[in-house]
Amino acid sequence: MIIDFNNIPEEKVEKFKGGEGYVLNRTYLDSNNRVCKAVLPPNCGSGYHAHENNSEILIMLKGSARFVCDGKEERAQAGQIHYCPKGSSHSMFNDTKEDIEYLAIVPEHHE
């Protein structure tokens, strides 16, 4: 199966998970996974939120972001992956002057 983000409409999501500013998302969703290609502008970010029934794999395509995962601050840049396992909490913020582009894969854990 091919997921072509060029054929998925872009959605502007304000204050994602209680965060600041907005994110531009193109999202594929089925009963097992959410796959998003997103752009996070400067001074925007997602709020701190828990992954109780899923995990998140965030692949940095362009730029550098500040993450807080389970209270620990870290930075990921293009070519790196931020991973938030099931049962953990995290947030992401673009504290740079350039857009961040990333791919987020959120698998549901059916137990």
Domain range annotation of the chain: 10-34
Nearest Cα to 28, choosing from 83, 107, 110, 93? 107
pTM: 0.93
pLDDT, tens only, 25-82:
999 999 999 999 999 999 999 999 999 999 999 999 999 999 999 999 999 999 999 9
pLDDT, tens only, 7-16:
999 999 999 9
What's residue 31's pLDDT? 92
What's residue 110's pLDDT? 80
